[in-house]
Structure 1
Amino acid sequence: SASDITYIPMARGFLYLVAVIDWHSRFVLSWRLSNTMESPFCGDALTDSLSYGTPEIFNTDQGSTFTSEDFTDILKDCGTAISMDGKGRWMDNVFVERLWRSLKYEEVYLKAYDSVADARAGIAAWIEFYNYERPHQSLGYRTPWEAFCSKPESTADARFGVDGLKIKQNAIEVYNLDMIPYSIPEQEQEVINT
């Protein structure tokens, strides 16, 4: 996974937007708007993203919000390796930067949000479209959601049986209609009620 913060211009002033994306699928796992750069809004977005599963590696820039103890402790507590871009190397987090470009040119710059509520509604609608309706050439013309839910050889529907549990490639894959599918390595398997 990866995360970054960007400015969202308003009719007067601006807001900060943080997003957490799945690196492989470009799926936006979570996002938050704030009028300050305090770390809690980033930590909240990170915590929400973990409901989709724990990433092996989490990449950010070296901004103070992402290097704060509050933020890094969340990652350390779940055993995620922390990766940080080199200073001034925006290409190290290119997928999030591309998300920002698309969001701004397709939504934000076309609007002059008068309120936080307007900004939140506009951004929410755009991210919903981006995640579930917008195919990406780099994903084989699948949406981020389709890429997130599938492995190269199958789709989410084909991978999960009626009971929602199927053994595949030394992992138990669990499907819960309220959550995204995820895998649990054999050594970490435990009973999960869905």
Structure 2
Amino acid sequence: MTKRKNHSPEFKAKVALEAIREEMTMAELAKKYGVHPTQIGTWKRTAIDNMASAFSKRGGDPGRVDEAQIDRLHSKIGQLGVERGFFSQRLGSVARSARQKMVSKDYGLSVRRQCRLLSLVRSNLYYQLKGESAESLRFMAIIDKQFLDTPWYGSRQMARYMLRQGHKCGRHRVRRLMRLMRLVPIYQTPNTSKKHPQHKIYPYLLRKLEINRSNQVWCVDITYIPMQRGFLYLVAIMDWYSRKVLSWRLSNSMEAGFCVEALNEAIARYGKPEIMNSDQGSQFTGFEWTQALKDADVAISMDGKGRWVDNRMIERLWRSLKYECIYLNAFETGSQARAGIGKWLAYYNTERPHSTHGILTPHEAYDRKTEPMRLAA
């Protein structure tokens, strides 16, 4: 029986800090330190969640406990009992995978107790996913590039393409990799994605809506960015009318946190939109994202099931970005990818005229109040 490794707090902090920097993919960090990617992700979240406590002020001397303090403590105990009941009821709307990520061996409570509070089966915590092999990463890059040329390819047609190119990659493997990369063909399918049954799906609000001004509608999406070793995820928020990219973030893990960061940055810089449109991915149906939009008083719109065309504006951005930047540069680190993508997006916003607005760039169209001058066909 393999003996479980006990890593020191210093080692965990070192690995978590490298993960927060996002210079390397989870696969690279796992290989470098001999730790499973899932464990590194847990240390990363724990470090971020506990970072604020390092700057909190220490309380004064406890002094003597008097009757008033005892009454306050009793009152606090009663309040915690009510809050725990509220917490238990609300917990049912949180996906099991999200609740599993909340469990931490470094926390003050035992794992058994944490699982009981989170309504989890403890044995399920010890199942660990295997990282993607070098062959799978190579197949993902091939599938991603072909999908940009033929976005109507489903798993069957993509598997036939792979076989014709001499790659031993069956349909079930292609389907799994396409789901990992969030690639959905443009035609309507019976079941294009698995979503949590308790997550609310909002209606599509843009049907027959005339979009004629900036900040009327924003759209958001996540795409897969291939690297030399592993991959990263990119989220971008775009103004639908002008096609301007308002904010973006890179991450080595698929969580809602980096999406919310991009949203908060866009609202802080440009104000809030009337409507935010997204697909039905778990990052955009979860509590963290939808609550951020509700707090900002933004109407929530979601694409129809399998409706790639409903969010076509930002899908077109991904094609341009990958052909004009990603595939021309073999990014090795997160900082290189961040610098290269940032440079291309700055060019896209301020120098590259968009066909929808004639000779105007997205930045000029965003600031312009009148109808743009269009080029003759």
TM-score (norm. length: structure 1): 0.78
User: Residue 38 of structure 1: which of 255, 263, 267 is its match?
Assistant: 255
* 1:134 match: 352
> What is the SS of the residue equivalent to 1:24?
coil
CA RMSD of aligned residues (A): 1.1
Residues in 2 aligned to 1:136 and 1:130: alpha-carbon distance in whole angstroms? 9
Residues in 1 aligned to 2:260 and 2:266: alpha-carbon distance in whole angstroms? 10
**Residue deviations 1:84-114, cap 9 Å, x none?**
0012111100110011000000000111111
Summarize the alignment of residues 1-194 of structure 1 with structure 2, pairs less than 5 Å apart: 1-51=218-268, 52-152=270-370
Q: How many Å apart are 1:152 and its aligned residue? A: 1.1
Letter of the 2:221 counterpart: D
* 2:98 match: none
Residues in 2 aligned to 1:57 and 1:117: alpha-carbon distance in whole angstroms? 32
Q: How many Å apart are 1:79 and its aligned residue? A: 1.2
> What is the SS of the residue equivalent to 2:365?
helix
- How many residue pairs get aligned? The number is 154
More helix by share: 2
Gaps of 5+ in 2: 1-217, 373-377
Residues in 2 aligned to 1:88 and 1:33: alpha-carbon distance in whole angstroms? 25
Residues in 2 aligned to 1:153 and 1:46: alpha-carbon distance in whole angstroms? 27
> What is the SS of the residue equivalent to 1:103?
helix
* 1:188 match: none
More strand by share: 1
Q: Which runs of 4+ in 1 moved over 3 A?
A: none
Percent identity between the two aligned chains: 60
* 2:125 match: none
Query: Larger C-alpha radius of gyration, 1 or 2?
Result: 2
> What is the SS of the residue equivalent to 2:276?
strand
> What is the SS of the residue equivalent to 2:232?
strand
Residues in 2 aligned to 1:121 and 1:23: alpha-carbon distance in whole angstroms? 25
* 1:169 match: none
Instruction: Select the structure with the greater relative contact order (CA < 8 A; seq sep ≥ 6).
Output: 1
Residues in 1 aligned to 2:293 and 2:329: alpha-carbon distance in whole angstroms? 35
Letter of the 2:289 counterpart: F
**Residue deviations 1:4-46, cap 9 Å, x none?**
0000000011100000000100110000000000110000001
Residues in 2 aligned to 1:15 and 1:61: alpha-carbon distance in whole angstroms? 19
Q: How many Å apart are 1:153 and its aligned residue? A: 5.8
Letter of the 1:13 counterpart: G
